[in-house]
Structure 1
């Protein structure tokens, strides 16, 4: 009975405040042990599987003694001290006060976030916040026997600030495999639990055939809890560049800006710069603001520094609201082309859009949709085109259009399970054209329209668990009017695929409409297999009473009978996915085709795609395009992962780009080496090769890259 009461008595004893001091609101200490006894009425001794718990701190030892007069705890090891989930201290002996806030720990090893290990001959705890390690060694690498770790930092003193989550080193020496590499008198690094701390980030070495060998050293500046700035100097003998990124979060949104400033030997007309930014904000009455900004000083800058592959820069501001029965959007955009064959003053550069859609559900049934769209695009140029087409086009043509529509939709289920969809409505179009001598200044037209769509799904369930669905589809549509004599600046590229087979108009913008009587016929087949794979196939074609000259030859829709559309997909649980579609003429000539294959597993991910576009001068494609590209990543072993990518021009029979990368990752280090080559050239860019080399030490960031599989000792 007495043996059972002793641990309780000891717990109560430890919980009492010392004489002459008011009781504090801190948690009492609880002790559990195999044997407990009193010495000299003021000293309590516990032995055998001793465990002391106070708040989030838990300590295990073989022997503990507590002196009531000095309020000191003496521990005999081996000792394991844990504080929450992010700190573990291993030691041989310790002397601490009753709150575990101050004291001395001998032969200590501190483990932070189960990643970073700090070993020291002595560890002093101060005010429960600081841990001072004397003659310390810091590493996150696996230590096997007497062999030195892959890397370690030795210091005369290391101070860990638990509140600021920082590590301060005095007289620090970096070693790799036991060999000293460099020495610094003072060093500050974040502990693994730190997510945002001012300081240097992982540097990288870059070798570019145009910019020579350089180094990037990013520096992160924590401005506050909701904003930060990253500055990255990039220095080589041919460039002096400063890259930057600013981020800020608000209660109703976020924004991010970035860019670079350069002075290099490639551009002799002054400095070079680019700017990018984006943001999203919630406004009043459910409206949202989205913006994007892109600007560059010269057309070759982004390619020379591998900042972006974009050949057109877009800046826009969009205010929108989406509700169950309403959509409103207003936007303003600016485009800047980096393409060699495009002059920015001769292409639509400033574009404004205003869109409104609303739907109602009348008592007679169905759904009524009201839509309105106002679009304007402007060109900078006011000078007539000086060339062979000077009598048909001007450089500075500006267009404004207004499109209105009222349509009624309804669906019915007919006998034999046939689904019918009906549409009837009126469309109104009005255009104003400026600076084009061959087009009227204004033109308007009202077009009635109607369509009927039928779907007849057939479903078969097999005893093996296979489900087949065959769905014949047909649509008959009619749109009145003869069309307006207006510019075609928007619907210059038309795609015919399974997504718009049953659409009222397949033009990407309402500056063109499909008119007259037309029909679409197709069939969809789907198979779902219980073994974990599924397949889909779509066949379709469009018939019309008259030829539409607004469609280009390669669109597959130029004739009264369109090309045959064939599209299919396949997917299984093994990670294999296949997608392909193509347009085939009556003689089975391919006008357009694309295919993509991917295979993903725990050890590798492979993807490849192919595209074929027949020659079509109406789409600024004088020769056919035939390209394939691939991208793959695969594990070579537990620590090494490879990456291979490439893009090849089959028509020109030459590569466009290629890349190779290796990433070595274990429990304490990430090493990445990558090589890429751009083979294309133009009047503003030349072929170039990039080498990049990055080394990252694990244990000093909350989100380390790579997989970090721990090595094993042999």
Structure 2
């Protein structure tokens, strides 16, 4: 028998073509009679990217078997680490038999078994195996993890990148909760793989008991698809699916569904017989890069009827489905686009025709600072064509060059000079003139040249303290333009919804579009004050008003801009620390000092307990003599991170005017850790029944098992 001193040795390859083996140990002995090479003490055996460490490693030159015992650690080329008490390996270390196996995978998942067998670089078969991605308890590692899969046999197929289970049992906290004769999941190296997704299960008053299994198809690195077949006890089958495709310079997504279901005939007679018809939806979205400047895209959304998405996909937030096709380009500060729009109205029973817009072409450009008379020039232009089959159709073009320059004086005054000239042409047809009592379908054309100028002066006072910076800034602006000829014969398509607040107080035109314009001369003034902490905390307040030297009757009565003196507008932002964040905006009548509009959103508290609220009030008086129809609503919510992994939240929406009463309420309970997420969401809808969609209570569940899959009820899904 020969012995060797501690160190490293390079053993010759047993087979031609194999890579050499590097051996390191405290001592190495060789038994010539039995052909055994034995290494003891901190033994490390390396070949290519695989390494075996153990207390003792023996190599039998006759049987070509490597035996390892004591604190075995095998590092695989994939990065997985195998721990065992006893292992037998072939001389090239590709095949192995292991007892008392523990595996630590690259994503920190763990697998263990009584014994395991590895065949080549592909198969690792574990008998009486357990798999879990959950971390073990630090105080007691012998305790079962939060969840684990226990199976008679676990096979890790590294070529298919799949983990398969035979006779699998899902355990929660060591307690069996589910059984399946077969289960598979992708391993940590897989981003996606074909297979069944967790089915959607549930019950609702509209659909009854239902199950919606889904199958995911991996069609390649650049495309995939999902197919769904849903069964309902109160409705027919639903067939749905989604297809996604990536191109070298673009992407495409198709989503749709179809079913045979009952649909009420209308609102007039609730007892009228229901019609059984095909129902469904189709969504499509695409975006394609043409070159470095231009790109094109589309977004198509259509449903068979108003209530289909609400009923089958719990899509309760959209009143309209917007479809769009466009081509747009970006170059420097320039932007150009040509678009077309259409809308589908989902408001049940609404008969107002939605227009088709196309083309809508816009071009905007902006010059370099100081490029024109020390200031910057700008250009905005556009073409609009709006069509209705039964209503007004409009064609319009506009060009608006502008110029702006900021000058700061030695005394600290900041003066801004701005000027614009709007050239706009309108042509409308089939328009019902508002001043006529009888229906009169006519046409009108208008060309308008409308210059505007504005001078704004600001004088900021700033003070720098030891812990904060204070700011007081008065602002005054004078805006002048000719009287605006807001001809009622020109349809108002883009200037109906006037939202007057501190954001548009100093704008040239407080109308949201250019179908109506604000002319004459006015003075606008305001005061901004703020304090900013160097480390944390801030507070700011802005208050302003405008005075017009001429009357402007084009604004709605409740807009706050109808009289010469506008309403007072302002906003308060308060965030002294991380435990408080509040935003309050308001609009006040200058004569009565009565609030015409105000809204509050705020959050106060710490993660252990947080209170949030959102309150809004709108004086919706259409005229001075009409009946007031104010709108007032409040939302109150509470949440608590009452444990490191547990949180709970609840909210309630209450209408105060015009019809007091609850609108919606909900509660959410969430548990989340590194391997599992559980959510219970309860919701109460107090709104009236819409078509074939009923109000009432809804309960959603969501369970996410890391690497294994997700279970959720359909209400938590989404449509793009």
Structure showing the higher strand proportion among its residues: 2
SS of structure 2 residue aligned to 1:493: coil
C-alpha separation between the residues in 1 aligned to 2:77 and 2:609?
37
Q: CA offset at residue 674 of structure 1?
A: 1.9
Is 2:162 the partner of 1:155?
no
The equivalent residue for 1:38 is 30
1:39-438 paired onto structure 2 within 5 Å: 39-40=31-32, 43-68=36-61, 70-83=63-76, 87-113=80-106, 115-140=108-133, 142=136, 151-174=147-170, 184-239=180-235, 240-265=237-262, 268-305=275-312, 306-340=314-348, 342-345=350-353, 347-360=354-367, 362=371, 364-381=373-390, 396-436=391-431, 438=433
Is 2:445 the partner of 1:445?
no
Q: 1:613 aligned to 610, 618, 623, which one?
A: 618
SS of structure 2 residue aligned to 1:302: helix
The equivalent residue for 1:677 is 684
Is residue 238–residue 265 contact of structure 1 (8 Å, CA) maintained in 2? no
Q: 1:576 aligned to 559, 573, 580, which one?
A: 580
Is 2:14 the partner of 1:18?
yes
The equivalent residue for 1:492 is 496
Is residue 242–residue 261 contact of structure 1 (8 Å, CA) maintained in 2? yes
SS of structure 1 residue aligned to 2:72: strand
Alpha-carbon spacing, 1:600–1:127, altered in 2? closer, same or farther (3 Å): farther
Q: CA offset at residue 418 of structure 1?
A: 0.7
Q: TM-score, normalised by structure 2?
A: 0.87
Alpha-carbon spacing, 1:154–1:280, altered in 2? closer, same or farther (3 Å): same
C-alpha separation between the residues in 1 aligned to 2:133 and 2:219?
29
The equivalent residue for 1:483 is 485
Q: TM-score, normalised by structure 1?
A: 0.87
The equivalent residue for 1:508 is 512
Is 2:7 the partner of 1:7?
yes
SS of structure 1 residue aligned to 2:317: coil
Q: CA offset at residue 473 of structure 1?
A: 1.0
Q: CA offset at residue 115 of structure 1?
A: 4.7
C-alpha separation between the residues in 1 aligned to 2:637 and 2:711?
24
Between 359-368 and 268-277, the greater mean CA deviation after superposition: 359-368
Is residue 53–residue 74 contact of structure 2 (8 Å, CA) maintained in 1? yes
Q: CA offset at residue 55 of structure 1?
A: 4.3
Deviations 1:438-470 (A, max 9, x none): 3652111112221111111111112x3221111
Is residue 208–residue 688 contact of structure 1 (8 Å, CA) maintained in 2? no
The equivalent residue for 1:708 is none
Is residue 443–residue 484 contact of structure 1 (8 Å, CA) maintained in 2? no
Is 2:562 the partner of 1:558?
yes
Alpha-carbon spacing, 1:621–1:343, altered in 2? closer, same or farther (3 Å): farther
Q: 1:688 aligned to 696, 711, 715, which one?
A: 696
Is 2:459 the partner of 1:456?
yes
Q: CA offset at residue 304 of structure 1?
A: 2.3
The equivalent residue for 2:717 is none
Alpha-carbon spacing, 1:67–1:276, altered in 2? closer, same or farther (3 Å): same
C-alpha separation between the residues in 1 aligned to 2:577 and 2:58?
61
Alpha-carbon spacing, 1:128–1:221, altered in 2? closer, same or farther (3 Å): same
Alpha-carbon spacing, 1:535–1:56, altered in 2? closer, same or farther (3 Å): farther
Is residue 202–residue 695 contact of structure 1 (8 Å, CA) maintained in 2? no
Is residue 302–residue 309 contact of structure 1 (8 Å, CA) maintained in 2? no
C-alpha separation between the residues in 2 aligned to 1:446 and 1:512?
13
Between 100-109 and 49-58, the greater mean CA deviation after superposition: 49-58
Unaligned runs of 5+ in 2: 265-274, 434-441, 713-720
Q: CA offset at residue 153 of structure 1?
A: 3.8
Unaligned runs of 5+ in 1: 382-395, 706-714
The equivalent residue for 2:716 is none
The equivalent residue for 1:545 is 549
Say what the alpha-carbon RMSD is for the aligned residues. Answer: 3.1
Is residue 115–residue 699 contact of structure 1 (8 Å, CA) maintained in 2? no
